[in-house]
Structure 1
Amino acid sequence: MSATSEQEVTDALQPFIGHYPNWAQELARKYFTKTVAEFILHGDVRDLVPTKDRDGNTTYVGLHSFLVDDLFAARDAVLFYDRSAGIHFADDASRADFSRAVSGYDSIFGTDYQNKLPKEPSQVFQLLENYLRLRLSDGKRIALVIDYAETIAPMAEASMYSAEDRRALVFLQKWSRDPLFVENDLTICLITENLTDLNQQLVQSPHTAEIHVPIPDEDDRKRFIDTSLVGSRSTFDAHSDVSPSNLAQNTAGLNYTQLRSIVADVLENKNRLTFETLSELKKEFIEAEAYGLLEFIETDYSLDLVAGHNEAKQHLRQAARALRAGRPDVMPMGYLISGPVGCGKTFLITCFAGEIGIPMVKLKNFRSQWQGVTEGNLEKILNLLSAMTPVAVMIDEADAALGDRDASGDSGVSQRVFSQIVSFMSNPKNRGRVIFFLVTARPDLMPVDLKRQGRAEEHIALFYPNTRADREELLQVMMRRTNVDLPMEDVPEELLDGDRTYSGADMEAILTRASFRAAGREDGTVTADILAETVRDFIPPTYPTEIELQKLAAVLECTSRDLLPTKYRDMDRAEVVRRVKELQHEIG
């Protein structure tokens, strides 16, 4: 069908489907082109759907009800199937018509399905195909909804498929391209939350259409809240410190069902809704929706607590000002934060979370030992991040978490994860809306595709304090953190100006040990003698080769000369590259 004719279809349908959600309008337009009959609904498919009742009022119903009463209201029969319930029907008329067809099937093939319908996909699909062919040949209009489709045609390697899985997949592929099915009034909807959970031959087929059901945006949430408060606004206002507009603004990432729980708790239970309560509820809902794989970083820290790293702090404060000023267009797509272990990479970004004015979440380990689960976890997380914008995302140990395009030995999981991540990170619509912070001590292990411009664009390198002033500043921070109160003149000189380099983690360990020693003495106070004794005794873990490699790798990755300490700023880069290769070979 030409582009002009598709537009004509859209214009002709608008009076009838204009009140439908955008995803439903897209499905209707694609269906009426008569080029596709099999659709895959994915995303927020377990949520409510907005529609209009007979009086023209907005109402919210479940997806199944929306399909039966709205999208497929004109069909002669609407059938549902899932592994648990088997075949079931939208109404008694559909049930009676199917029963008549099954009676004829039983008489021909000697089965007894009229008394007990099968539940296994291979038997069900054979029965459904017979019914669909009979009724389509009679000019009937049919809709078939297959829920939890990932349990029928799961994502797996071909060698892992059972005979039943193969038969079910063949049926679905055959139906998607059968001229009788495509050219007549038949719609087949496969429903799954995560597209990556479904067999990729179906997903990538040109004969199926993927329809994404998004999490509601702010305008959608505002309409839902206003509808929910019709006749109850005074009760809500009496028990809520949060206005309906603020409620809509501060619930990015939540769906209608979760919003309904919040509103109902106020209206029915009369529990007071404060901004603090709302923040806790949002955190609880989103972390549960992400299967515990996203963790909100909530902190009262600011960059004022970070010792040293002045150039890095200056850069991040400028980014924070841009975000607060509503200038996402000037923000990088992401940051790569590198440096040796113990230099404060994670702490720096945690403190930055307290300044940016937008939520920050930490991506936890989303990998699973089970086939297909890792990709499904990641898809769920990325969909939530898209709905939570603006949001910052910290990925610690990014070199291990994000996979590689060339990885092997895990059935392609790392390759697929890598592809999902880089595609999401490079989407220009996410600039300033989803900001990634990739934290690693080994940036040399990360693939170039993740570090290039258009993804992790700004590379910030952090190092151990290398001047006396930096060491004093870092030590003062660590003393406040460990409740050690000593004047700087009582601090052993080797801790501030010796040949040995101490990281922030080393200093914290020394001060904690000193407090431990002091706890067994009279007043439990850390004295200059106790601290000096602890410093002399302290032997930090020794891995100089690894530390040197981590430092030089950070030097090579840094995209700003001003962020490098003086001794690294003027180093010959060819010499640094040579030394890094030597160290990589030595470490193996």
Structure 2
Amino acid sequence: MSVSKARKNKSDPLSDLPRWAQKLAQKYYTKTVATFLLYGAVRDLQPLTQEDGSRGYGTIKTFLAEELFGGRDHVIFYDRSSGIRASSPETQKDLQRAMTGYDAMYGTDYAKSLPRDPGRALQILENFLRIRLSEGKSMALIIDFAETLVPGGEMSHLSAEDRFVVATLDKWAHDPNFLSNDISVVLLAENLADISPRISRNPYVAPIELPLPTEEERLDYVRYKLEGKKLQSVSDVPLAALAKMTAGLSRINLDRVLTEAIERDIRVTTEQLKEKKKEIIQAECHGLLEFIEPNNNLDSVAGHGKAKEMLRHAANALKKGRNEVMPMGYLISGPVGTGKTFMVTSFAGEIGIPAVKFLNFRSQWQGVTESNLERIFTLLKALWPVAVMVDEADTFLGNRDSGGDSGTSSRVFGSIASFMGNTQYRGKIVWFLMTARPDLLPIDLKRQGRAEEHLALFYPQTDAERDELFKVMQKKTGVTVDVPSFASLIPQGTRQFSGADIEAVMVRAKFKALAEGREQVSVDDLKAVLADFIPPSYPLEIELQNLVAVQECTSRELLPEEFRKLDRDEVTRRVRELKMLLEER
């Protein structure tokens, strides 16, 4: 491959290129591919080698033109907005001469102003490429914002111009003249799902992902950015910690953080960095993910002793770097109000990793849902280790048989299942599927290799557990009241209280005290509220949620005694019965 002059003097000019660039070069050398589709972090900065051997950074187009294709005779750029441009004055003059000849032959006036629309621009480019190839010249054509030229979707839904572009690029991809000569056509797009399948799945097109920078690459960039400055004058966070804490950020994002610190004299602190990172990532995801920075660990979780013990063992394995023993994911089931979400965020806090929560990534517009999902996956791969929370997983993730939307839901489900089951991410991306109805979750997601461990959470079973939960809720609500035993205040005959019920009682007691002109909640306030409080009662629904959690649980130790001794066949029979009763209502 024709590389820059700065690299030609090295024994292996490709050795210090980014891995994606090495992959592109290797595919080029096979002479079986001349068209490349680069997707992912194509808007990020890339490392450049200066003539004196020093390190710099520039855009992807600069990197391609100077680093990979620096030895080519001609490098040309094209996109809908800027039109056709040459990377050097010499190529620009050559292009101008070629257009003068084109105008004379076809009666056009392109020498004065090159067209920007794809229909005419690609015809001009093809004419120029073929003429120069016949002269033995080496060429590179870089087409940016490729999703605006060959958008995803069915061919029948594309405009005539879009179909022409798809056909043209498809023809170039397997053209023997292009494959046998020194020419490369590079398409740039942020998301692979935004590109027409006729191009992205074409066997003559090589899709190559540009990942977000690794910890080592972020460290290199921070050193470059702070060159000549003392870190202590800018940041309270050590260099290595700064690189580690910025997982999921691009170099451009890093530049924003550091430039703000340098120019506005704002010191980078741990808290400020966490807040900035959360802000940037949520903006980058366009509301597809909620970034949760855990403030608690498993010590803050009341009850659920066996479940906490299992999660602590997992946390210890992650701290020791023993990813190979980690489950791919967890299914957390149990009735509403048992603290499933709090348990997961506390696990993330136990080992100090970020947690993200899936928001609604689906869209009514064709191709947007797949594009959103691709953006989420790209970020998760850069954020690891990370805990991924999916609430109400039974309804949120869909299933393989979803229909009525041209197959989008089934494709999305397949993509999620495939990503969850990729063992390359074991211990790096830990999935937590939370649901009160695990029986409605497709088997594809809760089998071994995906959500492998099934933990079941239940309401407090003993007075000691209720009192423990009460103490936790005191901290959460800010209600301080000295009572020997909260459980003893609960009226006889009242059904088991969930954590949400206890929290509601404490908030009402605080409201009662405030209404009477007092700041301090008394024991009498609690008694009065408990005597009046009628917990929402859905006995059949709660029984069903308990029993399906028992069915799904993969550890006997997690089950309370009353559920542990139940006959499995009897549980199955009762679940069927409850479902019939609820459907009749």
For normalisation by structure 1, the TM-score amounts to 0.92
The answer to whether structure 1 residue 439 and structure 2 residue 434 are counterparts is yes
> Per the alignment, do residues 222 and 529 of structure 1 end up closer, same or farther by CA in structure 2, a change over 3 Å counting?
closer
1:391 and 2:386 aligned: yes
CA gap of 1:577–1:325, structure 2 versus 1, over 3 A, is same
Say if 1:273 and 1:452 are closer, same or farther in 2 by CA, change over 3 A: same
Provide the secondary structure at the position in 2 that maps to 1:287: helix
1:82 aligns with 2:79: yes
Residue 48 of structure 1 is aligned with which of 41, 45, 50? 45
Higher mean C-alpha deviation, range 493-502 or range 503-512: 493-502
**Secondary structure of residue in 2 paired with 1:411:** coil
**1:119 paired to 2:116:** yes
* CA distance 1:584–1:414, shift in 2 (3 Å): farther
Distance 1:384 1:490 in 2: 47
Specify which of 421, 425, 438 is matched with residue 416 of structure 2: 421
Secondary structure, aligned partner of 2:223: helix
2:151 corresponds in structure 1 to: 154
Matched, 1:135 2:144: no
User: What is residue 5 of structure 2 aligned with on the other side?
Assistant: none
The answer as to 2:351 corresponding to 1:356 is yes
Q: For residues 503 and 121 of structure 1, do their structure 2 counterparts lie closer, same or farther at Cα, with a shift above 3 Å needed?
A: same
- Partner SS for 2:12: helix
Out of 150, 155, 169, the position equivalent to 2:166 is: 169
Partner of 1:4: none
1:209 alignment partner in structure 2: 206
- Tell me by how many angstroms 1:171 deviates: 1.0
Identify unmatched segments of 5+ residues in structure 1. Answer: 1-11
Bigger mean CA deviation after superposition, 368-377 or 335-344: 368-377
Counterpart among 530, 535, 538 of residue 540 in structure 1: 535
The whole-number CA distance in structure 2 between the counterparts of 1:69 and 1:485 is 67
Residues 288 and 484 (structure 1 numbering): CA distance in 2 closer, same or farther, change over 3 Å? closer
Letter in 1 for 2:279: E
Q: Distance in 2 between matches of 1:214 and 1:524?
A: 54
Question: Contact conserved, 1:468 with 1:497, CA < 8 A, in 2?
Answer: no
Equivalent runs, 1:296-375 vs 2, <5 Å: 296-375=291-370
Q: Which moved more, 1:462-471 or 1:538-547?
A: 538-547
- Cα distance in 2 between the residues matched to 1:525 and 1:85: 67
Q: Secondary structure at the match of 2:293?
A: coil
Instruction: Give the letter aligned to residue 419 of structure 1.
Output: G
- Aligned position for 1:9: none
1:288 lines up with 2:283 in the alignment: yes
Structure 1 range deviating more: 256-265 or 172-181: 256-265
> What residue number does 1:245 align with?
240
Q: Which moved more, 1:406-415 or 1:292-301?
A: 292-301
Q: Is the 8 A contact 1:422 1:450 kept in 2?
A: yes
Contact in 1 for aligned 2:483/2:523 (Cα 8 Å): no
Identity %: 52
Instruction: Letter of the 1:558 partner, please give it.
Output: C
> Which residue does the alignment assign to 2:4?
none
The number of residue pairs the alignment matches comes to 575
Q: Is the 8 A contact 1:490 1:528 kept in 2?
A: no
- Asked if the contact 1:52–1:59 (Cα under 8 Å) also holds between the matched residues in 2, the reply is yes
Q: 1:183 to 1:399 in 2, by over 3 A?
A: same
Name which of structure 1's ranges 327-336 and 544-553 shifts more when overlaid on structure 2.
544-553
Q: 2:576 aligns with which of 568, 581, 587?
A: 581
Instruction: Indicate the RMSD between aligned Cα atoms, in angstroms.
Output: 2.4
- Aligned residue type for 1:540: P
Partners of 1:326 and 1:490 lie apart in 2 by 42
AA matched with 2:292:
I
Report the AA paired with residue 118 of structure 2.
Answer: P
Q: Distance in 2 between matches of 1:14 and 1:415?
A: 49
Within 5 A, what are the aligned runs for 1:266-281? 266-281=261-276
Change (3 A) 1:565 1:77: same
Q: Distance in 2 between matches of 1:16 and 1:301?
A: 49
Question: What's the CA shift string for 1:252-306, capped at 9, x where partnerless?
Answer: 2222222233333444443322222222232222222222333332243232332
Structure 2 CA distance for partners of 1:277 and 1:132, relative to 1, 3 Å: same
Deviation at 1:423, TM superposition (A): 2.0
Using the alignment, how far apart are the partners of 2:553 and 2:297 within structure 1?
23
Contact 2:37–2:206 (CA under 8 A) maintained in structure 1: yes
Aligned partners of 2:272 and 2:474: how far apart in 1?
A: 34
Give the letter aligned to residue 545 of structure 1. Answer: L
The residue identity in structure 2 corresponding to 1:471 is R
Report the equivalent of 1:475.
470
Contact 1:41 1:213 in 2 (8 A): yes
Q: Deviations over 1:527-556 (max 9, x none)?
A: 444434433433333433322222222111
* Alpha-carbon distance, 1:490 to partner: 7.8
Whole-angstrom distance in 2 between the partners of 1:360 and 1:307 = 20
More divergent stretch after superposition (500-509 vs 514-523): 514-523
**Cα distance 1:532–1:225, how it changes in 2: closer, same or farther (>3 A)?**
closer
Q: Does the CA-based 8 Å contact 1:324-1:357 persist in structure 2?
A: no
The one-letter amino acid of 1:118's match is P
The answer for the alignment partner of 1:5 in structure 2 is: none
2:24 pairs with 22, 27, 32, which one?
A: 27
Matched to 1:128, the amino acid is L
> What is the TM-score when the length of structure 2 is the normalising length?
0.92
Q: Residue 500 and residue 43 in structure 1: after superposition, are their counterparts in 2 closer, same or farther (change >3 A)?
A: same
* Stretch moving more, 533-542 or 36-45: 533-542
Structure 1 position 562, deviation (Å): 0.6
* Amino acid across the alignment from 1:563: L
Q: Please give the secondary structure, in 2, of the residue aligned with 1:17.
A: coil
How far does the alpha carbon of each residue in 1:100-134 deviate from its partner, in whole angstroms, 9 at most, with x for none?
A: 33334334444333333222222222222222222
Equivalent position amino acid for 2:108 in 1: T
Task: Tell me the distance in 1 between the aligned counterparts of 2:237 and 2:517.
Answer: 53
Partner Cα distance (2:12, 2:517) in 1: 85
Q: Deviations over 1:402-452 (max 9, x none)?
A: 232221122222222222222222222211111111111121221111111
Q: Secondary structure at the match of 1:392?
A: strand
Tell me, yes or no, if structure 1 residue 180 matches structure 2 residue 177: yes
Contact kept, 8 Å, 2:467 with 2:487, in 1: the verdict is no
Contact 2:296 2:349 in 1 (8 A): yes
- TM-aligned CA distance change 1:97 to 1:281, over 3 Å: same
Could you report, residue by residue, the CA deviation over 1:492-511 in whole angstroms, capped at 9, with x for unpaired residues? 85726535122111222222
Please give the secondary structure, in 1, of the residue aligned with 2:13: helix
Q: 1:466 aligns with which of 461, 464, 467?
A: 461
Deviations 1:211-251 (A, max 9, x none): 11121112222222233333x143x3333222323322322
Distance 1:19 1:326, change over 3 A: closer
TM-superposed CA distance for 1:309, in Å, is 1.0
